[in-house]
Amino acid sequence: MSLLHKIALSCITGVGSILARNLISYCGSPEDVFIAKKKHLSKVPGIGPKTLELIGNHRAFERAEKELAFINKYNIQALFLTDSAYPKRLKNCFDAPVMLYFKGNADLNAGKVISVVGTRNSTEYGREICRSLLAGLKTHNALIVSGLAYGIDFLAHKEALKNSLSTVGIMAHGLDRIYPAQHRPLAEKMVASGGLLTEFLSGTVPDRENFPKRNRIIAGLADVTIVVEANIKGGALITADLANSYNRDVFAFPGRINDEYSSGCNHLIKTNRANLITKLADLEYILGWTELQNQPRVNTQLSLAINLSDEEKKIAEVLLDKGCIIVDELAILTGLPQSKLALTILGMEMKGIVIGLPGNVYKLV
């Protein structure tokens, strides 16, 4: 598929992530979207007369050509929704961007991906938690994701690099700038040991409405979102709610009931929207990482008496190789859609073939 057409699809005014996915599903490819007849496009849910006119003009291609020149000049990787390098965890989210722009060397499909978020007005309590958490995560070689904002975000990236962990900053603007500007030195280090990722075209400024869009990528890219310290209102709680909506694990560190910047974490825990975490061992237990580390490799073959479907065979082969595995990684390795995977695993559990462990982890019985 033409990269120009992929970018152009994301440049059409009024065509957001969901509508773009509908267009691709209906037409087959970005190229086909632009050559399809209006009477056919009008059948796509969400398409109106104004959008039909915008698809038919050349402005999207003019903007796409400009962006293509920018990414080629600055060695930026363009990731389309159907590309193999596109983050598979994010792809499973219904509102995932069809186009991402990435500068760096991180594996966006790493085995363990953790988002760490929190208030911009961090206290020493929150900063100490963040330092301790990132130091502990070094043993898991996790990819650390955050938003490169002031406070906890900045510290999460900084401590990740300090502990030799790859870290990716999700931007609310184009890759032609760094916001806040004071974080440019850190951002440059991150490009060398992680990267910067955005859905926004060059020239896009960090307008207020861009940050909730940015937060959905922070939540969707990871297995788990950890809220270190947060107010009752703000971006960290938005990210936590988005992670919950994607059926991802959320953790929050508690604080004193009269501390303003612990009120958000306490609220998440009280309303059962986050697991309580006080130390890394809590995360490891709930996610099943202790099982993953201690589980011996299974070398025996499944009994030939068990009649497995093609999907069940894919799952069984991965579990035979890995022992225990997180469900999101299982989806990546099997190539099965989340809906199909969930249904197949349920059937295998009922047959007594697999067993579920805390943290969406599965293993063969």
* 88 located within any domain: no
Verify that 258 and 295 share a domain, yes or no.
Answer: no
Verify that 298 and 313 share a domain, yes or no.
Answer: yes
Least confident of 143-147, 156-160, 356-360: 356-360
The number of angstroms, rounded, from the C-alpha of 28 to the middle of its chain's C-alpha atoms is 25
User: Which of 24, 58, 73 is at the close of a domain?
Assistant: 73
Verify that 170 and 196 share a domain, yes or no.
Answer: yes
DSSP 183: G
Query: In degrees, to the nearest 5, what angle opens at C-alpha 220 toward C-alphas 233 and 262?
Result: 25
Number of domains in the chain: 3
Least confident of 122-131, 154-163, 308-317, 331-340: 331-340
Q: What CA–CA distances, in Å, run from 86 to 28, 72, 167, 238, 361?
A: 18, 18, 17, 24, 23
Q: How confident is the model at residue 360 (pLDDT cuts 50, 70, 90)?
A: confident
Q: Which two tokens stand for residue 312?
A: 């069940």
The whole-number pLDDT of residue 134 equals 98
In this structure, the strands spanning 77-80 and 99-104 are antiparallel
The whole-number pLDDT of residue 304 equals 40
* 17 located within any domain: yes
Verify that 296 and 244 share a domain, yes or no.
Answer: no
In this structure, the strands spanning 249-252 and 361-364 are unpaired
Verify that 160 and 262 share a domain, yes or no.
Answer: yes
Verify that 53 and 132 share a domain, yes or no.
Answer: no
Verify that 264 and 124 share a domain, yes or no.
Answer: yes
- Residue 119 above 50 pLDDT? yes
Verify that 301 and 159 share a domain, yes or no.
Answer: no
Tens of pLDDT, residue by residue over 33-65, are 988 888 888 888 888 888 888 887 778 999 999
Q: CB of 318 within 8 A of CB of 334?
A: yes
Q: How confident is the model at residue 206 (pLDDT cuts 50, 70, 90)?
A: very high
Which residues constitute the domain of residue 258? 113-287
Verify that 201 and 63 share a domain, yes or no.
Answer: no
Tens of pLDDT, residue by residue over 247-259, are 899 999 999 999 9
The whole-number pLDDT of residue 362 equals 87
Percent of the chain with pLDDT over 70: 95
CATH number at residue 246: 3.40.50.450
* 94 located within any domain: no
- Residue 350 above 60 pLDDT? yes
Q: Between 284 and 103, name the one with better pLDDT.
A: 103
- Residue 298 above 50 pLDDT? no
CATH number at residue 47: 1.10.150
Q: Between 90 and 48, name the one with better pLDDT.
A: 90
Q: CB of 43 within 8 A of CB of 26?
A: yes
* 305 located within any domain: yes
* Strongest mean pLDDT among 16-30, 264-278, 340-354: 264-278
Q: Which of 105, 181, 113 is nearest to 144 (CA)?
A: 113
* 309 located within any domain: yes
User: Which of 287, 302, 335 is at the close of a domain?
Assistant: 287
Name residues whose C-beta falls within 8 Å of residue 124's C-beta, 6 or more positions apart in sequence: none
Q: How confident is the model at residue 299 (pLDDT cuts 50, 70, 90)?
A: very low
* 80 located within any domain: no
Verify that 211 and 341 share a domain, yes or no.
Answer: no
User: Which of 73, 93, 127 is at the close of a domain?
Assistant: 73
Q: CB of 363 within 8 A of CB of 319?
A: yes
Q: Between 301 and 154, name the one with better pLDDT.
A: 154
- Residue 24 above 70 pLDDT? yes
CATH number at residue 348: 1.10.10.10
Verify that 259 and 175 share a domain, yes or no.
Answer: yes
Verify that 196 and 258 share a domain, yes or no.
Answer: yes
* 119 located within any domain: yes
Query: What would the mean pLDDT of 153-176 be, rounded to a whole number?
Result: 98
* 225 located within any domain: yes
Q: Between 298 and 213, name the one with better pLDDT.
A: 213
